[in-house]
Amino acid sequence: MELKSVKIVNPDSLNFILGQSHFIKTVEDIYEAMVSAVPSPKFGLAFCEASDKCLIRHTGTDDALIELAQKNAGALSAGHSFILFMKGIFPINVLNALKNVPEVCRIFCATANPVEVIVAETEQGRGILGVIDGYSPKGIESQADIGYRKDLLRKFGYKQ
């Protein structure tokens, strides 16, 4: 077995969700979840099929985001993984909808941070072991940092 680190290519620091699913139906069901969760969503999805034809299945509402998802799915090449890039959408607005998709087994991360995916490769194929999402903490938040956090959440409309 060989361990590899695969960096997610995300030149515009878009929010994305990386997960694991178990069935080809995932592509259509995630599409339906996205268009039901937020009005006029802009997204691209790619799913690594792990049986039968073993294709990178894809869908979405934005060609550039679909292409970005396909590129990253190809680099990962981990069976039954999916990557969903979003524009103008925060993951918090769609995560519950995605978690309720029957085929979705796991969400590895939902972020706009730089991400490295730790992948194990064997003769059979590849699987995701985990992710490195962003950077290590640099300290404990101060009172000013607490104020910033609270203001930011209210600015985005998540708190009153």
On the 0-12 / 13-18 / 19+ scale of CB atoms within 10 A, 146 is exposed
Write down the pLDDT at residue 156.
87
- DSSP type of residue 112: S
- The separation between CA 92 and the C-alpha centre of its own chain, rounded to angstroms, equals 12
CA 29 – CA 82 distance, rounded (Å): 12
pLDDT tens column, 62-112: 999 999 999 999 999 999 999 999 999 999 999 999 999 999 999 999 999
Tell me the pLDDT band of 50, cut-offs 50, 70 and 90: very high
Tell me the pLDDT band of 60, cut-offs 50, 70 and 90: very high
Q: Is the pLDDT of residue 160 over 90?
A: no
* Percent share of the chain, pLDDT over 70: 100
CA 49 – CA 128 distance, rounded (Å): 14
* Statement: 2-155 belongs to CATH 3.10.310.40: no
What SS3 class is residue 45? strand
Record the pTM: 0.93
| 53 φ, ψ (degrees, to nearest 5) | -80, -15
What SS3 class is residue 144? helix
Neighbours of 112 (CB within 10 A): 15
Q: Is the pLDDT of residue 158 over 90?
A: no
Q: What is the average pLDDT score of the chain? A: 96
Neighbours of 120 (CB within 10 A): 14
